[in-house]
Structure 1
């Protein structure tokens, strides 16, 4: 056939009544209609009907087996707004497909609530952990999120309550746009599982927001004492200077605080945390998950051996365990490098490298007040030498 063989059709809860004439024509012309059972039940069609399997990826070979035949795939609302569209066309030429979007659940929810969609955080949590919400939870923020099913509503309420957001105002939106539509409101700590799929929630958070600046409080991260402390972390993130889309190696990650704050700088940033101790690696994963940064990759092992095969970095942080061999390897990678040296041995390596390669040196020492008898004095931390270098 000439022209697109694949039609991606966004279907709402109102079934065929919500389809545009063009979408209806594409559906009628299809020899094969694929989709999940709920969508197939909403849109009566002739020809071959194929139920899309679970997990979703298992349906892609079924689709490709029919490549070149007129195929319609049914998806929810707008297939390219937290939907399946981008996955369906990932390996296709642009000339092979066309899309007929319907109203997304986010648009429908915003219209029900009277919220300006352009100032509302929209998240797809139907196939993602609830902790993805954490960076967005702040008083005054409005959030609309899709959920897996009715049971996930109660799970969300319990999770929000557990992190101090039990007083958040929640609006549960079920089957928007169809005859089963139902909208209910409750506090997060009063949510139940008595809700039907498809379901979304609108959240007006009430609880302790995370700071937006680098150098979050140390207690934000579970740690065993191996953590770059807040003032030094702020200086280190400033030196690393994360930019959208860049990848970080955090070598000797400890609690993961540097890598996690790098990820929090922009949703397009990525990071790999390298940690030789299994208990600390597990703690890094838990910290990343709790703060909604589950895209952090954690590699157990010691550098430089654990670096083999990793995605190339744009920036590298070394907080400990510096050796001459490691330093030599890192400076050949073409990435920005920030090293925090505390020991005399690592200081010597850094000073020699700066004399040879240039870069910027910064010596920092912090102090906190402590009791001395009935008086107070300064408890000085170890001085730190920071070397920042760009190739």
Structure 2
């Protein structure tokens, strides 16, 4: 052992193990007095590495602070798969200990290796980790001709990805499963999502997808809640992609409302009186770091929101069953609040304003005279912007076509001083 001071070094290691490490990485591991890692990673080290080998417990995160504290006076090395700062333990340790306390020695990530094998320029590729996320988070990335690299959770992930693509009408998409990248046993298989045999897959794999939308049968394309329909990135998804009992902010109003809400990465939205959940869902779809809590008093609608969120690619939407303002107590503080229902109920607007920080934004929609009057009163008191939106859609009138008016919607928005 060397006389280096105690500290923590995170070493990225590939499937090729010790031979693929740099001199800096091997020196750090040789000098370590204790080495943490998965059982698979620890087995890659040669016998000349003398530090105590400690496999990670499961679950890891709750045990991590105690493990580090127990060995705080020793030189610690942590093994990480590939690049420790790319969906790896390195980022977790930096959040826990601070950047100054953690030394990171990276290795090429599995995504970098996959891109190199395929000849894909990484800036032109969407990357998704399904190591801990549900497969439904793939939905927002599925668009014609897009290329996606997916970090797999194990042997069953490729089949789950193929099934989701096929259900979306993208069964003609090309899937390549790259296993054991960088190791002597490296392999890959390719084929269409709808027919590729994915029954015997190595658990250490990365999935590459080239999206190709097939032609859906006419009866399916015209069906309500058609899963094969287009999913644009901008707010205002077609109404038909939502499961709804009619309590749904319509497409045109939804697009304007989201523009007024102005989602920014990292912000948390409260969607109060969420109905079908469309505002919260499309808020979260604008950026992967946008978060939302949907509050809805109907148990039936709560279930519907959960299903809509999964089908539209934001399964992490938090749904709270309860009636505002009581249901708002104890929720994480919002950056923005949208009130789509319950604006006439005593205390709802007050509770929303109280919860917002200075500079926080409140947007409320009204369709009845009574709720419109409430918004007008708040506008007179606090100012902001008051907008009335009227939408008409063309519809058959006998053998001709006429305009069918939707109920006008009044939108009040204000920034808390």
- Cα distance, 1:353–1:58 mapped onto 2, change above 3 Å: closer
TM-score of the pair, normalised by structure 1? 0.95
SS of equivalent residue, structure 2 residue 97: coil
CA separation in 1, counterparts of 2:119 and 2:393?
50
SS of equivalent residue, structure 1 residue 90: helix
2:251 aligned residue: 230
Taking the TM superposition and a 5 Å limit, the aligned residue runs for 1:85-104 are 85-104=90-109
2:137 aligned residue: 132
1:26 aligned residue: 28
1:123 aligned residue: 128
Offset of 1:262 from its aligned partner?
A: 0.8
Structure 2 contact 272–295 (Cα < 8 Å) conserved: yes
Offset of 1:370 from its aligned partner?
A: 3.7
SS of equivalent residue, structure 1 residue 189: coil
Residue 52 (str. 1) matches residue 56 (str. 2):
yes
2:236 aligned residue: 215
CA separation in 1, counterparts of 2:171 and 2:298?
36
Offset of 1:163 from its aligned partner?
A: 1.6
1:319 aligned residue: 340
Offset of 1:162 from its aligned partner?
A: 1.4
Structure 2 contact 6–74 (Cα < 8 Å) conserved: no
TM-score of the pair, normalised by structure 2? 0.89
CA separation in 2, counterparts of 1:269 and 1:240?
12
Offset of 1:9 from its aligned partner?
A: 0.9
Instruction: Could you tell me which runs of 5 or more consecutive residues in structure 2 were left unpaired when the two chains were aligned.
Output: 214-227
Residue 342 (str. 1) matches residue 367 (str. 2):
yes
Structure 1 contact 171–183 (Cα < 8 Å) conserved: yes
- CA root-mean-square deviation: 1.8
CA separation in 1, counterparts of 2:395 and 2:124?
46
CA separation in 1, counterparts of 2:375 and 2:6?
59
SS of equivalent residue, structure 2 residue 96: coil
* Stretch deviating more after TM superposition (108-117 or 306-315): 306-315
CA separation in 1, counterparts of 2:94 and 2:372?
52
Offset of 1:8 from its aligned partner?
A: 0.9
1:41 aligned residue: 43
2:409 to 381, 384, 387: 384
SS of equivalent residue, structure 2 residue 43: helix
Structure 2 contact 239–251 (Cα < 8 Å) conserved: yes
